């Protein structure tokens, strides 16, 4: 299934029209704010969030959620430079009053600790965060996009990432993106 390319075009444009899209280096008072104690935009993805480490999902801190946000969502994908990029994590229907999404979410279709939020899966793969696992000396750029959504999604947990990301893209009010790189050097 080929998905629409909303993550770089429709999502941020829609966000700017409604509530403002905060760029990676911008800090605008009053606008949707997302940070992570583990991810520095433009920096490197810590190994613990890859298959070479613990393979756990990264944490996020959420502030100033815009009205009328009904839920929050995350889509993580590799920047492959193509028309579509492989998605390795979707999380949606996180309650809007959530201030922290902890690291290491369980690989389950619903996350009870986040109010029953749902997670997707890659086509034919396991539900939840699929840690990046590039071959040695093959750099990966990873994008983590956190969204404020104007509606609760009627998409079941365990659905494939493409279907979930399309539903997320149709409900965006605002977003915040983290772009981080990861490269594992081959052993000498």
In contact, 87 and 122? CB cutoff 8 Å: yes
CA distances for 121 relative to 18, 101, 126, 162, 184, angstroms: 29, 19, 6, 9, 25
CATH architecture, range 10-181: Alpha-Beta Complex (3.90)
pLDDT at site 29 = 58
Q: How confident is the model at residue 187 (pLDDT cuts 50, 70, 90)?
A: low
Ranges of beta strands (E only) in the chain are 33-35, 60-63, 71-78, 87-94, 100-101, 110-111, 117-119, 140-149, 172-182
pLDDT at site 183 = 81
Three-state DSSP class for residue 147: strand
Structure confidence by residue, pLDDT tens digits, 101-116? 999 999 999 999 999 9
Residue 64 has pLDDT above 90, yes or no: yes
* % of the chain residues with pLDDT over 70: 80
Which has the minimum average pLDDT: 37-46, 100-109, 110-119, 147-156?
Answer: 37-46
CA distances for 187 relative to 26, 112, 137, 140, angstroms: 38, 40, 10, 18
Residue 155 has pLDDT above 60, yes or no: yes
Q: How confident is the model at residue 27 (pLDDT cuts 50, 70, 90)?
A: low
DSSP class of 160: B
Residue 19 has pLDDT above 50, yes or no: no
């Amino acid at each position: 299934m080929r998905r629409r390319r909303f993550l770089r075009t429709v999502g941020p444009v829609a966000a700017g029209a409604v509530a403002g899209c905060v760029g990676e280096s911008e800090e605008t008072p009053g606008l949707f704010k997302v940070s992570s104690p583990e991810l520095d935009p433009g920096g490197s993805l810590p190994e613990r969030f890859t298959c070479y480490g613990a393979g756990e999902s990264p944490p996020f801190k959420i502030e100033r959620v815009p009205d009328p946000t009904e839920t929050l969502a995350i889509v993580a994908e590799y920047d492959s430079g193509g028309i579509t990029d492989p998605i390795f994590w979707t999380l949606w229907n996180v309650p809007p009053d959530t201030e922290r999404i902890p690291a290491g979410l369980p690989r389950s279709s619903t996350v009870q600790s986040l109010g029953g939020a749902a997670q997707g899966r890659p086509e034919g793969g396991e539900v939840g965060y699929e840690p990046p696992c590039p071959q040695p000396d093959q750099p990966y750029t990873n994008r983590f996009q956190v969204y404020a959504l104007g509606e609760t999604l009627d998409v079941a947990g365990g659905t494939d990432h493409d279907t979930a990301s399309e539903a997320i893209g149709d409900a965006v009010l605002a977003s915040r993106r983290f772009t981080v790189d990861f490269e594992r050097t081959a052993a000498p």
